[in-house]
Structure 1
Amino acid sequence: MTDDGVRDEGTETTALREALAAEHAAVWGYGTVGAALTAGSRPQVSAAENAHRDVRDRLAELLQQRGDDPVPAEAGYALPFPVLSAVDAAALAVVLEDGVAAAWVRVLDQAVQSTVRRMAVDELAGAEVRAVGWRGAAVRTPVTTPFPGLPQG
């Protein structure tokens, strides 16, 4: 936002860059999630990873169209906890989806263009749908959050 509290494309672009960074982290993190799960769970992991790859690629293209350099992926990311079991892997997937959701809430808050708002709503919804499945696998209740992407508590 500008000093007078008005949204502008600069703050929207900053939020999009943050979302891109979150999508990079999610793509990387799903590699760890998939490695800790059985082969039967891999289709769910592949679907989530592919969804994040698709969004990442669309975001990078959007930023390039705006004349902005997309945020590059990091070489590696620190895990928030050791992933030693399938439950840990599902819990990591929840963390990844919650992180992406928080980034999309920021985009929604800073969006100027209606197409960006629509993208933010769609991606926020997608992250929560995926998180619901992972919360169940991580034996977390409730499996849904009333306001995805916002701090709970």
Structure 2
Amino acid sequence: MRLVKFAVAAALGLSVAVGSFAAADSMTDAIKYRQSMMEVTGYNFKMMAAMVKKEMPYNKADFEKMASTVHTMSMLTQDGFPKGSDSMAAPTHAKDAVWSEPEKFNKDVVAFQKASAALVVAAKTGDMSQIGPQFKETAGTCKKCHDSFRSKSEG
């Protein structure tokens, strides 16, 4: 339940103090935290994609809120991957490369953060000629990171 509160608070743009994950239970919490965060991100991406693809009506206020939520989640990404959560028995999609290649992982996370910040700016314009390309760029940062650091066969 605490993890849902983290994700909800983060989605609302509230400050979320994750704290330090040290004990085994905390590592399991860290995994649940990052999975919840990714679920919130994925949900918002699906809704925005439907608007960009004209599969559902475009709503500027909703799109802007979803873009903001994705950006908030991007800023929390690294909190969900503390050292030690790589060796947990809990089901996870994270590859060992998250921890064995931290500079590359952090570079990909920063790219997501920058792209999602730019998506928020584009969303505020309401101009689909700006939103569409920026949405595609932001989604591309997710795909790049997932290709390198997410296993499709686990969890």
Normalising TM by the smaller chain, what interval?
Answer: 0.3 to 0.5
* Normalised TM-score (structure 1): 0.44
* Normalised TM-score (structure 2): 0.43
